[in-house]
Amino acid sequence: MSSSPDWQKVASKIEQSTQIPFAIESVTPVSGGCINSAFIIQSKTHSYFIKLNQAKRLPMFKAEFDGLKEIAQTKTIKVPNPILYGVANSDAFLTLENTPLKYSNHQTDQQLGTHLANLHSIKQSQFGWHQDNTIGSTQQINNFSNDWVHFWQVNRLGFQIALASNNGYAPSLIDSAEKLSDLVSCFFTTYTPQPSLLHGDLWAGNAGVTKQNQAIVYDPACYYGDREADIAMTELFGGFSTHFYSAYNEAFPLDSGYKVRKNLYNLYHILNHLNLFGRSYQRQAQDIINSLLAEV
């Protein structure tokens, strides 16, 4: 990524897309992300949220753009309106509606839970998605499948296990992870998941509340999958209140087996963190694998 993006070229592309004049008056860096650079760019009348990365990362922004569009079309939960994505010189960029945030409260936590349940209630025809995307900066494989167990074994656990093996992690971890992957069907003997549109990366840093008191989610890694995978990730790092979970369960109760399966779903993210950030996640991954193997 260049140290000095061509903001005039970005502004020109925004003008072409929106058909609204846009003369930049200020560019303000936004902190918080570890994968992209982020900025608020502002004219006298409009402001936009911009993500920047290397030009080769354009497919990542296209997938995020498409995911936001698809969630928005369900009219269930608010997302930032995606404006456009493109390339300006050596930078790929994604332009979104600028949505200033405020602190959540009991009411907005409940709203988030209800709206997420509404999103998950819309059933899809297959598991997967029409394109691959990224989870963090790791490729996420979304090949369509009618079999959820196979999808999770191959496109989620199998992909991360192969990365971990290539990254040189302990053979004992790889062997036990492969053993668990072979046994995934054991966790679905009395439960049949239905394909739902998932946010896909729903930790607390990707949800908030607008100044208009609307619950909002952003930075998706969308695909059609078992809704439990979204709820499981909300528990992985914390940050979601009991009001959120109560509202979700009132609208769309979870199956009792979720208490075990959430660890299967979160193992994917822990393995991804292992592959992205290193050995500090190896013990956590092994502990989750051991606990799941003890269930079968």
Contact call for residues 274 and 281 (beta carbons, < 8 A): yes
- Map residue 270 onto helix, strand or coil: helix
Alpha-carbon span 242 to 62, nearest angstrom = 34
Structure tokens at 207: 């949800």
Just list the catalytic residues: 201
CB 46 within 8 A of CB 20: yes
Beta-bridged to residue 29, according to DSSP, are: 39
211: number of Cβ within 10 Å: 9
What φ, ψ does residue 128 adopt, rounded to 5°? 120, -155
In one letter, which amino acid is 74?
T
- How many angstroms separate the most distant Cα atoms in the chain? 62
R_g over Cα of the chain: 20
Question: Of 212, 199, 209, 223, which Cα lies nearest the Cα of 140?
Answer: 223
Strand partners, 148: none
- DSSP code for 156: I
Helix (H, G, I), strand (E, B) or coil at 263: helix
Cβ atoms within 10 A of the Cβ of 139, count? Answer: 14
